[in-house]
Structure 1
């Protein structure tokens, strides 16, 4: 099956958003990995991150589709604005370099769930934007889940083995990607 030009464009855009959202999981995963996680724990946490990177955008897409019916004329501007806001937020966080003061214990179910939820919150607003744009839900959710889980796992593995310097750059790159895509929709 051959894809049309608009389908390639949507695949590329969703892939870039998935990578940008995955960069946040990557950078936070590095910090978590520096605590000396076992391989089994990395697999469990990255799987949970992938699941939440699928559930949160799905919720956001549902809300975005509901809102797009009621605000048809400004839906694209709102969605682009949300992506820009999310990108700027990630950039500011990476520049400030603030560490989360809360230390999560990912050896417990609640710790895994809370960490995965907190890493995936930005996926909710990205899903809201995609709901306003009427994006392919299945493709978006699968890409977000795969990239979030994969990049979170890679971040935890690198953090376990390499250190902190990668995390700051990963979040900054993700923020720039979201900002660029948001501006593309607005302009």
Structure 2
């Protein structure tokens, strides 16, 4: 099994890529009412699969697509997180403080979250291509790490959110907006 990189580096890369997904999953869990394992599994699988597919896509498409996408990917991620975070803040301020998981984890929101947290994985695939490193096994590590971190983050956030109620939901929405702003800031600086 040739991964092209040592196991420690591969694990660190996988954990690093999973951090945005973990953060988004944790703050998403804040505002949800009773979350089912199926909801957590759906989000985890979506994020995990995206973190397998995006690096492979970046590797195969090479610099052409990454150059094209990298000029606006940070804005897409920001707008997606702003939209979902804004909904959470609004619900925390004006709603009953509990969101139906099907709203936040519905198909449209889930696609937006998935795209927002997996864009960086596309660039990782390109970097592996530029270094002439294989991508299949590393992408499986990235996907597995993201799946695990997303699942844990969603459940931890949900438990924490229940303790703090509407405040956690508002904070969670603001954190999502902050993650989006950080993405834009790091790409512009």
The CA distance in 1 between the partners of 2:104 and 2:132, in whole Å, is 36
Whether the 8 Å CA contact 1:56–1:127 is kept in 2: the answer is: yes
The equivalent of 2:25 in structure 1 is 29
Offset of 1:150 from its aligned partner? 0.8
Paired residues, number? 141
The one of 117, 120, 134 equivalent to 1:122 is 120
The CA distance in 2 between the partners of 1:14 and 1:62, in whole Å, is 19
1:13-162 correspondence runs (5 A)? 13-36=9-32, 37-64=35-62, 100-101=85-86, 103=88, 105-162=103-160
Offset of 1:102 from its aligned partner? 5.1
1:162-177 correspondence runs (5 A)? 162-163=160-161
**Cα-to-partner distance string for 1:16-61 (whole Å, 9 max, x where unaligned):** 1111001111111101111223321111110111011111111111
Structure 1 runs not aligned, ≥5 long: 68-81, 83-88, 176-187
Structure 2 runs not aligned, ≥5 long: 65-69, 89-101, 162-167, 183-189
**Greater displacement, 35-44 / 52-61:** 35-44
Q: CA RMSD in A?
A: 3.6
Normalising to structure 2: TM-score of the pair? 0.60
Whether the 8 Å CA contact 2:43–2:105 is kept in 1: the answer is: no
Offset of 1:63 from its aligned partner? 3.0
**Cα-to-partner distance string for 1:138-167 (whole Å, 9 max, x where unaligned):** 1111001101111111110110012579xx
The CA distance in 2 between the partners of 1:129 and 1:23, in whole Å, is 19
